[in-house]
Amino acid sequence: MPLDSDTDVHHDWTIEDALSLFRLPFNDLLFSAQTCHRRYFDANQVQMSRLLSVKTGGCPEDCAYCPQSAHHKTSVKAEKLMPVDDVLVAAKQAQEQGATRYCMGAAWRNPKDSDLDDICSMVEGVKALGLESCATLGMLTKPQAERLKQAGLDYYNHNLDTSEEFYGRIITTRTYQDRLDTLENVRHAEIKVCCGGIVGLGETCNDRAAMLTNLANLNPHPESVPINLLVRVEGTPLDHAETLDPLDFVRTIAVAKIMMPDSVVRLSAGREIMSDETQALCFLAGAGSIFVGDTLLTTGNPDKDQDVLLFERLGLHPAPAEGTPGAT
């Protein structure tokens, strides 16, 4: 296993390496993950981001988990792109509530060049507030990525979602390679990469291992790795998916941290349906970031008071920026 080398940062993982980690006794796995986390980050700091849907619904993609897909009959209605000023008012409110990064999501397969006028204005406004900026807009061309970089975009989110083998059972309107191409375009523009996946889709442990292997073999690693738990939404093909064992979710966080110790692993969607104990184990497993606010795009999230109480109980405190390299 690559952990035997002089450094714990590797880009040559195999699926069997990842499966070996998943098979570790739970206590050993969490000990290893927490040890890796402490080499790069303050273990008691958590970076806080806020996510806003700036263009909701009507997406032409058929992602089986997504209530914004035009292919599914959900309560989410298609809306136009939000006015720039409204987005910046919401960004200011998020900042006042402790967020240090502001993420803007649009339900597009890919943005039109004309759409980027307003998106770039949003990015510039968010940066002017002193927040880190992130966007998730679907697939990007190289010129589009470069334009976002010029506007000051810090991070671009584009998840792999799952393993390449399981991918076709979740999405048919874009390929796995399409996702990798967008990530390459983002890297070429020197924008930081936010890339992770979703668990609880009906995938196997082997699929989770394969997804993490694909992420960990990106060079460099994604700076931010969101691990999402499926939020089942009525009207989507996965609204009756089997509930994932919470300990399997914690294991996924821990394996992600060991394989990508220099990345910030984010405890993302699904926190609203997690117990405080499950979230505490995720932080112990190396999760170093959360989304704050009562909504994630169109699904629920714990409110501010719940997070404040949980942080107080665990002795955690918000990070001033994403992680602190070299912290002990």
Q: Annotated active-site positions, please?
A: 59, 63, 66, 103, 134, 194, 266
Q: Is 264 exposed, middle or buried (0-12, 13-18, 19+ CB in 10 A)?
A: buried
The C-alpha atoms of residue 212 and residue 89 are separated, in whole angstroms, by: 36
Tokens of 275: 């117990």
| Nearest by Cα to 240 from 107, 60, 56, 64 | 64
The DSSP bridge partners found for residue 53 are: 105
Q: Where in the chain does DSSP place strands (E)?
A: 45-55, 101-106, 132-136, 155-157, 192-194, 197-199, 224-229, 264-267, 287-292, 295-296, 299-300, 317-318
The C-alpha atoms of residue 188 and residue 155 are separated, in whole angstroms, by: 13
| Nearest by Cα to 219 from 260, 252, 175, 181 | 260
- φ, ψ (nearest 5 deg) of residue 226: -75, 130
Which amino acid is it at 221? H
